[in-house]
Amino acid sequence: MVCVCLLQPLMAQDTSGQNDVEWFEGFFSRKPSGSLSEWKEKFNDETQDAQEQEDRAAQVRSKIKMGLITLTHPKEQEESKYELALEYFISAKAQADTLNLKAEQVLIYLSMARVFEEAGNHAKSIELLSKAQTINLKADDPLSLLVLNEMGRVYTLADSIEEAHTSYTRLLRLARASRQEKREAEALFYLGVIYTRENSFDSALMQHKESLKLKRTLLDKAGEVTSLNTIGDLYLEMNNPDRALANYVAALEISQALKDDHAIAVSYNNAGKLYFHQKNYTRAISNFDLGLQKAQQAKNPEQMKVSADFLSQCYKELGEYQKALQYREQGLGIEAMIQREKDERKLLDMENSSVLEAKEQAIDKLEAKRLAHEKQLQEERRTRYLLFALVGLTLIVAALVFSLYRSKQKSNLVLQAANEKIMQQNLQLQQLNATKDKFFSIISHDLKGPLNSLTSFSGLLINYFDSLSKEEIQTLAKDLDKSLKNLFALLENLLEWSRSQTGAIEFKPAAFDLSELVQENIDLLTAQAAAKNITLLYEDPQPASVMAHKNSVTTVIRNLISNSIKFTPPGGKITLSVKTSPDEALVSIADTGVGMSKEVIDKIFRIDAKHSTKGTADEKGTGLGLVLCKDFVEKNNGSIGVQSEEGKGSTFYFTLPVS
């Protein structure tokens, strides 16, 4: 049977900044230094500080700490340390239960379980660990995993192999899921121990190798030594002495680097046993001698007995009976010492049994009180939830009533708005009817003029063609051309206006360069301006990106430039500019034309105030161009205006939103 150490050594670390798990395990990985009286003075100081600061949680922690120091202190007498340690834990438990400190409750159960484990009462230890599991912590919380690890270890010590296997299997699953590699390594190690006890050596070897790999990743040298020795034992059990020796040697090298006399003794004794089974008694004796020296230095009677017993057998096989007898007597002496310690332990356990029974009763009373307190808290929570539910229901009912009230108010407002809208629509219909009548009046008048002119010119040509000179025919043709152009402009504005009013033009805004559009229209109308010897000047053209309907803006620019050409005398000048601000772009068209009076300015943008003036070359206007410009600019979210004075020219301007 392979022999393994169930209490793996942990490397000593500074306790500052540790989490609860490292803090707890630190008490068992290294023995407290200093005397108990010094620790009690520190405890009293910490307790006083915590009381002054009214930090009750710190008081609980201080008591747990003092109980663990009492339990693990090497100079504490065993007949009293269990009782004293439990007194600290019981006092801490009473406070932790009252304050409902979850982490502290778990640590207290873990600490008390250790007391009963050391006293040999595995059943009570498991019972306390089971109660630790009832504390409401997350399944993958490091403390929860520590409880699972402790349960598996105590079950193993109590030879409850099936329960130990269940605990470590669950621990392995949770540790892997939460990536807690230290716990994963421990779970794999102890599962290997369980498989070894069941003689499933292949499964045990696989678990121990995985555990060894993780320990190397974690740089856990002491744990690596334990795993190497255990793997060596397995190879020896599986009749593979070469692999066994390789693991023993690797463990020995690390143990020597750590200066761990106990681990060095184990490695030497393991190598000695291997050579003994190979009947290489000389090499076996060399290893057992070294193992005995290190075991004596480590004050480890178990390893001392192993070394002495095997040395006796080696010398017996070599025929050196005097030395064999010498080591036999030494082994018996060590065995007697171990037995005395066991007997003393049993006697102490018997003496402590009554004390521990009394403490168990105190713990049970506290547990009953804790359960009653938790039940009371649950009742208070239920009452609180019920009150919250009632308050919530009241708020919901109030919200519904308020919603109905608001709904009624909104309905009244909707009705009021609908009535106002109907009245406004009636007013708009009346205005539209009036505008329609005036519009048709304008169209009939403006259409009739050009058509009368065309009729007159065509009549002259038909009736007097033979008597007309060439110059007279050219004059009639020019007049006819002017009338046709005027009629075309009228019809074009009429169509644009009708399309705008009926919604046929869909004003979908898009980004474009307004400066480029102005230049395009200047290029288009340059010939018309040149015919009157008018200069078109575009001042400092700069890119100006706007968001508008491009075709309608083109119509606006073309109409405004044509209007300026019409009312500017020959030799005049028209100046265009585009300026931008963060919100809008401003287009200005300034001419040196005839200008307008204030009365005319008030009419030019209104459909209901027909106004048409002849140009400087007797060009006729339709009266719709500027009305159309105003409509298109406003539908592009802009504004239009004019500044003018009679005899001093006019400046038309409009704005558009920038892109």
The answer as to whether 584 is a domain residue is yes
Largest alpha-carbon pair distance within the chain?
Answer: 169
The stretch 215-236 carries a mean pLDDT of 93
Q: Identify whether residues 485 and 514 lie together within a single domain.
A: no
Q: Give 201's pLDDT tier (boundaries 50, 70, 90).
A: very high
The answer as to whether 417 is a domain residue is yes
At 446 the pLDDT is: 52
Return all residues near 444 (Cβ < 8 A) that are at least 6 apart. none
At 10 the pLDDT is: 31
591 DSSP 8-state letter? E
Q: Is the pLDDT of residue 81 over 70?
A: yes
The stretch 363-387 carries a mean pLDDT of 70
Q: Give 504's pLDDT tier (boundaries 50, 70, 90).
A: low
302-317 pLDDT per residue, tens: 999 999 999 999 999 9
Which H or E element spans position 573?
strand 573-580
The answer as to whether 165 is a domain residue is no
Q: Is the pLDDT of residue 114 over 50?
A: yes
Spatial distance between the Cα atoms of 24 and 459, rounded to a whole number of angstroms = 121
Q: Identify whether residues 524 and 609 lie together within a single domain.
A: yes
The stretch 133-149 carries a mean pLDDT of 88
Return all residues near 13 (Cβ < 8 A) that are at least 6 apart. 22, 26, 29
At 265 the pLDDT is: 92
Spatial distance between the Cα atoms of 97 and 367, rounded to a whole number of angstroms = 9
**Strand-pair category, 573-580 with 535-539:** parallel
More confidently predicted of 572 and 432: 572
Q: Which of 504, 521, 546 is the last residue of a domain?
A: 504
The stretch 268-289 carries a mean pLDDT of 92
| Three-state DSSP state, 300 | coil
Of 45-54, 483-492, 572-581, 629-638, give the lowest mean pLDDT range.
Answer: 483-492
151-190 pLDDT per residue, tens: 999 999 898 999 999 999 999 999 999 999 999 999 999 9
DSSP string, 176-194: HHTT-HHHHHHHHHHHHHH
Q: Identify whether residues 435 and 560 lie together within a single domain.
A: no
CA dihedral 450, 451, 452, 453 (to 10 degrees): 50
The CA distances from residue 346 to 43, 118, 124, in Å, are 32, 12, 17
The answer as to whether 609 is a domain residue is yes
Specify the CATH number for the domain of residue 531: 3.30.565.10
Maximum average pLDDT range among 463-467, 507-511, 619-623: 507-511
The answer as to whether 41 is a domain residue is no
Q: Identify whether residues 499 and 580 lie together within a single domain.
A: no
Q: Identify whether residues 545 and 630 lie together within a single domain.
A: yes
Q: Give 410's pLDDT tier (boundaries 50, 70, 90).
A: confident
Q: Which of 458, 477, 504 is the last residue of a domain?
A: 504
Spatial distance between the Cα atoms of 68 and 76, rounded to a whole number of angstroms = 12
The stretch 452-481 carries a mean pLDDT of 73
Beta-bridge mates of residue 125: none
The CA distances from residue 451 to 456, 487, 576, 624, in Å, are 9, 8, 35, 18
Q: Is the pLDDT of residue 208 over 90?
A: yes
Task: State the total domains in the chain.
Answer: 2
Spatial distance between the Cα atoms of 138 and 452, rounded to a whole number of angstroms = 99
537-562 pLDDT per residue, tens: 998 888 889 999 888 898 899 889 98
The answer as to whether 411 is a domain residue is yes
Q: Is the pLDDT of residue 215 over 90?
A: yes
At 357 the pLDDT is: 64
The stretch 520-536 carries a mean pLDDT of 85
Q: Identify whether residues 516 and 652 lie together within a single domain.
A: yes
| Three-state DSSP state, 590 | strand
Angle at which helices 201-217 and 181-197 cross, to 10° = 160
The answer as to whether 641 is a domain residue is yes
Question: What domain range is 465 assigned to?
Answer: 407-504
Of 34-38, 246-250, 442-446, give the lowest mean pLDDT range.
Answer: 442-446
Spatial distance between the Cα atoms of 220 and 207, rounded to a whole number of angstroms = 17
Spatial distance between the Cα atoms of 372 and 281, rounded to a whole number of angstroms = 67
Q: Identify whether residues 494 and 545 lie together within a single domain.
A: no
Q: Give 434's pLDDT tier (boundaries 50, 70, 90).
A: low
Of 72-86, 120-134, 184-198, give the lowest mean pLDDT range.
Answer: 72-86
- Tokens representing 559? 């109409």
Q: Give 292's pLDDT tier (boundaries 50, 70, 90).
A: very high
513-525 pLDDT per residue, tens: 999 999 988 887 8
Q: Identify whether residues 413 and 522 lie together within a single domain.
A: no
Q: Residue-wise over 483-520: b if at least 16 C-beta within 10 A, else e?
A: beebbebbebbbebbeebeeeebeeebeebbbbebbee
Average pLDDT, the chain: 82
At 106 the pLDDT is: 92
Q: Give 604's pLDDT tier (boundaries 50, 70, 90).
A: confident
Q: Identify whether residues 517 and 653 lie together within a single domain.
A: yes
More confidently predicted of 399 and 536: 536
End-to-end CA distance of the chain: 87
Q: Identify whether residues 499 and 513 lie together within a single domain.
A: no
At 251 the pLDDT is: 92
The stretch 445-465 carries a mean pLDDT of 66
Question: Residue type for 262, please?
Answer: H
Spatial distance between the Cα atoms of 585 and 656, rounded to a whole number of angstroms = 5
Q: Is the pLDDT of residue 621 over 60?
A: no
At 495 the pLDDT is: 66
Spatial distance between the Cα atoms of 277 and 266, rounded to a whole number of angstroms = 17
Contact, 113 vs 122, CB < 8 A? no
- Tokens representing 38? 């010094």
DSSP count for the chain of H helices, then E strands: 21, 7
Q: Identify whether residues 438 and 475 lie together within a single domain.
A: yes
At 580 the pLDDT is: 92
Strand locations in 71-214 (E): none
Spatial distance between the Cα atoms of 647 and 86, rounded to a whole number of angstroms = 113
Spatial distance between the Cα atoms of 554 and 647, rounded to a whole number of angstroms = 28
Q: Which of 504, 524, 539 is the last residue of a domain?
A: 504
Specify the CATH number for the domain of residue 441: 1.10.287.130
More confidently predicted of 344 and 285: 285
Of 170-174, 251-255, 387-391, 566-570, give the lowest mean pLDDT range.
Answer: 387-391
Which burial class, exposed, middle or buried, applies to 376 when counting CB atoms under 10 A from its CB (0-12, 13-18, 19+)?
A: exposed
The answer as to whether 472 is a domain residue is yes
| Three-state DSSP state, 314 | helix
Q: Give 585's pLDDT tier (boundaries 50, 70, 90).
A: very high
The stretch 26-36 carries a mean pLDDT of 80
Q: For a pLDDT cut of 90, what percent of the chain falls above it?
A: 37
At 6 the pLDDT is: 37
Q: Identify whether residues 488 and 628 lie together within a single domain.
A: no
Spatial distance between the Cα atoms of 161 and 157, rounded to a whole number of angstroms = 9
The stretch 110-123 carries a mean pLDDT of 88
At 606 the pLDDT is: 77
